[in-house]
Structure 1
Amino acid sequence: MDHPLQKVMGFDFGSQKMGIAIGNSLTGTGQPLPLFPMRDGIPDWDKLEQIIAQWQPDACVVGLPLNMDDSESELSARARKFARRLKHRINKPVWMLDERLTTREARHTLLSYQQQGHSKKTSADSLAAVMLVESWFRESVGITP
């Protein structure tokens, strides 16, 4: 599917750390970026905005951590709040994607990813962000924060 966006940045939100990835619509793939520290679910916005300015994404995707029964948790509310603030701060489109099982799948994928010669520093959270970006390119279905 053709997608009008060139670059999409993905965020696997967490209260202590956040995985980040950047993706390109030409290949439909993403690459992990270094793990981003969080302080009780709050990023250092200045540092985060520097990373965003460096990569210049056209839009962002934030993982929405839903429970398996589709209900929302406190972490879901915090991820939505992060997505709203992100949209306000960068003034670009921000979508949310259901991220159930992405971190588990990312942990499973991490070993083979490292065996292919990728950095040992790559985290499961950053790979989960890659999966969000790649899912966005495949499906282009987001939820507004």
Structure 2
Amino acid sequence: MNNQSDSTNRLAKPMPPVMLPTQGVLLGLDFGTKRMGVAVSNSDQTVAVPVETWLVREPAQNLKHLRELIEDYRAVGVVLGLPIRTNGEEGTAAAVVRQFGVWVAEKTKLPLVYVDERYSSAEAELLIWRRGESPSKRKQPLDSLAAIVILQSYLDAPDRIIPLPVVAANRPASDINHSG
């Protein structure tokens, strides 16, 4: 095998998975271009609870709010839901979330992992329905409940994370506008 092939093969391999600390609070995020669902784990990383749904604004405000959440809860890592299509492939939405994840990791300096959020909104809807809440009250907590589902799925099976991309974007993550 020539050096060109060896070099290409090395570049094509996914980066090693990021490992989150096994103790300490984790922040779970359900990314949206308009709203962001937020959940946190307990320090033993066994249970996820809702925190809020925040309205996404311009990047500097989003970063300030994210840093406040990290400080308030003393988060040691981030779990971000990645929208995978039902056929298992990643589409445009997943690419946007991956860019957001790179931006979050870069700006907060916290380890970040992606988990499959394929059915998180449906599971959140089911949780609301089981509570017996009316449809008019459903929309507001849906994002934070989806964040619970995302975070809890990681807590229950931390070995099922989705690897980081080899190349996150064609431009620096700091140039990405996350205000949608």
- Identify whether the pair has TM-score above 0.5, normalized to the shorter chain: yes
Aligned to 2:79: 61
Q: Name the aligned partner's letter for residue 163 of structure 2.
A: T
Root mean square deviation of aligned Cα: 2.6
Structure 2 counterpart of 1:144, from 163, 166, 172: 163
Contact 1:10 1:60 in 2 (8 A): yes
Question: TM-score scaled by structure 1?
Answer: 0.84
The separation in 1 between residues aligned to 2:147 and 2:52, in whole angstroms, is 11
Question: TM-score scaled by structure 2?
Answer: 0.69
Structure 2 counterparts to residues 1-145 of structure 1, below 5 A: 4-26=22-44, 28-39=46-57, 44-113=62-131, 123-140=141-158, 141-145=160-164
* Closer, same or farther: CA 44–7 of 1 in aligned 2, 3 Å: same
Q: Runs in 1 of length 4+ with deviation above 4 angstroms?
A: 39-43, 119-122
More deviation, 80-89/40-49: 40-49
Shift of 1:7: 1.1
Structure 1, unpaired ranges of 5+? none
Structure number having the greater strand percentage = 1
Q: Write the deviation string for residues 101-126 of structure 1: whole angstroms up to 9, x where unpaired.
A: 111110110233476xxx98961111
Give the match's secondary structure for 2:66: helix
Contact 2:125 2:138 in 1 (8 A): no
Structure 2, unpaired ranges of 5+? 1-20, 165-180
Q: Write the deviation string for residues 83-134 of structure 1: whole angstroms up to 9, x where unpaired.
A: 111111111110000000111110110233476xxx9896111111111111
Contact 1:37 1:43 in 2 (8 A): no
Give the match's secondary structure for 1:61: strand
The alignment covers a number of residue pairs equal to: 140
The separation in 1 between residues aligned to 2:95 and 2:60, in whole angstroms, is 13
